[in-house]
Chain A
Amino acid sequence: MNKLKRALIYLFLSVAAFISIAPFLWMIVSSTNRSVDVTQGKLLPGPYLGENLTKVMDNVDLVPALLNSAKISITTTLLSLLIASLAGYGFEVFRSKAKDRVFGILLLSMMIPFAAIMVPLFRMFGSISQWLPFIGIDTITSAILPTVTTAFLIFFFRQSTKMFPKDMLEAGRIDGLSELGIYFRIFVPTMKTSYAAAAIITFMSSWNNYLWPLVVLQSPEKRTIPLLISNLGSSYSPDYGLIMTVILIATLPTAIVFFVMQKHFVAGMTGSVK
């Protein structure tokens, strides 16, 4: 009986694992096949990866989209980390009743659905366009700004600051460091793992963000990777080999980040719940 139970557990987990991985395997296999083979359900790798890559380079603006996505995600990540960690540190180290109240109000912003503020944000950047065209609609800046500060990340850094030893603060003050000096020279280097975790989740969500770039980036040369994939995916006569190659390339950066920093990623997700 116990043996049967064991076997059932392994069977169940194997099926779950297979279902989870199968779409990835299909994507990888399909990127090495021609479109005809894919439609006929071919499940073995073929020799056409090179040909698909050449087609991608000739027909799809993949490199500009990769560059746009990289610019947006890297800038967003750096700014997010700086702003949110300064705030999380400030809320915890210089704690006061008034600040706790402000913190509570900031947390409310987590309940705001993006679809609700999308139209006002669009109109806001529309009116900025008249005065400051480099920030307005259809600029990289407009794609970055609204997503840079999240209450989630402030909350995350406040929780991490709780684990930061208070003696180090005092030691820094005795050594005559300014408060900002303590933050940059002591807090940031000590909290490297928290920053790594925050960086990964921020980078991934920015790299994969779809709705706001869809609204605000209108010209084709500003397209990010998700916009490019969505556009390819909605074509009437899709070239499956080509599309799967694009998706494969677009997924690689996040997959590499994930496998290299798996521990930090999980810490980043669960860190704020504990």
Chain B
Amino acid sequence: MNLRARNNLIGWSFIVIAVIMICLFYFYPMIQALILSFQSGTGTNLTFVGFGNYQRLFSDTTFLTTLGNTFLFLIIQVPIMILLAIFISVLLNDKNLKLKGFFRTAIFLPAVTSLVAYSVIFKYLFGPEGLVNLFLLKLNFISDPIQWLSDPLWAKVTIIIAITWRWTGYNMIFYLSALQNIDNSIYEAARIDGASSFRQFTNITIPLLKPIILFTSITSTIGTLQLFDEVMNITKGGPGNSTMTMSQYIYNLSFRYTPDFGYAATVSYAIVILIVIFSVLQFKLAGDKK
């Protein structure tokens, strides 16, 4: 055996464990889920139903509600958070800013907390007699306590506030490290040409940040489509099903209601399809603007 072939073989031996593990715990279950999605029945009593489960999706009001909720969280929360993260990171990138380290650490801090722990804290803060209501009442912003957790609309708002609190600092870090790589002389040239700071922001900062904006919006989209920990621990999906997400519906179908693994797998493929669609869409959008 020559050296090249030998080295090639050694190379494979370095990666073989990882390949086996990923196949066993990601790709094999994905194939299993695909097969399951064409079956129906309770527990282990499964029979083939063809596309029956997929047809059921369109008439299943709970599924459609969870789809709508997930979309709502996605369309409202992700843009707010990304704009906020960009805005804060641009402010923090100012060389003359004092207390920069403190601001950065403070705003990033939520990103190191456990999702369950912060969810429980938020559930109490937003409770009917929680601190948020107490605070708003004291300041006379409201005259009656807001039903943050038990009103269908406000419960959605609470979830959006919670996720934004948890993830804005996380996304900010990506923008900050990208901003630090931008050569300062570009801005100096723009200033000499008389560009206002708003023009500098829209014509220099945003285009240069585009790869990071794409990265953060894809990861945030994937994250939101999988939203589970927060709704489970803040609202339990309620009131009614008004904050239930698709992931939570899959969990309930499999482990809370009479288990219907086949239909649960079908719902999970709906998420997979959405993730693929959204990722392709975001890549396309980013490409067109070039």
Binding site for B on A (CB under 8 A): 9, 12-14, 16-17, 19-21, 23-24, 26-27, 39, 41, 83-84, 86-87, 89-91, 93-96, 99, 102, 106, 109, 111-124, 145-146, 148-149, 151, 154, 179, 183, 204, 207-208, 210-211, 215, 225-226, 229-230, 232-234, 238, 240, 243-244, 247, 250-251, 254-255, 258, 262, 265-266, 269-270, 273-274
Contact = CB atoms under 8 A, between A and B. Distances in A.
A229 B173 contact: no
Nearest to B218: A111
A50 to B, nearest CB: 22
Contact of B91 (A12, A19, A154): A12
A112 B32 contact: no
A270 B177 contact: yes
B268 interface: yes
A116 B272 contact: yes
Dominant secondary structure of chain B at its interface with chain A:
helix
B177 A115 contact: no
A273 B215 contact: yes
Given A118-B254, A119-B261, A226-B117, 17 more contacts: A20-B107, A24-B113, A26-B131, A94-B10, A95-B11, A99-B11, A113-B225, A113-B226, A121-B29, A148-B21, A179-B7, A183-B14, A211-B228, A215-B251, A243-B120, A254-B112, A273-B177
B141 interface: no
Contacts, number: 241
B106 A20 contact: yes
Interface residues of B, number: 84
B124 A251 contact: no
Interface of B: 7-8, 10-15, 17-19, 21-22, 25-30, 32-33, 36, 88, 91-92, 94, 97, 102-103, 105-110, 112-125, 129, 131, 134, 165, 169-170, 173-174, 177, 212, 215, 222, 225-226, 228-229, 232-233, 236, 246-247, 250-251, 254-255, 261, 264-265, 268-269, 271-272, 275-276, 279
B173 A269 contact: yes
A26 B117 CA distance: 13
Contact of A229 (B33, B116, B131, B215): B116
Contacts of B13: 90
Contact of A113 (B94, B122, B177, B272): B272
Nearest to B96: A6
A119 B30 contact: no
A19 B169 CA distance: 12
A262 B19 contact: no
A117 B114 contact: no
A126 to B, nearest CB: 9
Nearest to B121: A23
B232 to A, nearest CB: 7
6 contacts: A99-B11, A99-B15, A116-B250, A118-B250, A255-B112, A269-B174
B19 A102 contact: yes
A117 B116 contact: no
A247 B13 CA distance: 43
Contacts of B26: 109, 112, 117
Given A19-B165, A109-B26, A119 B265 contact: yes
Given A96-B8, A113-B268, A226-B114, A266 B173 contact: yes
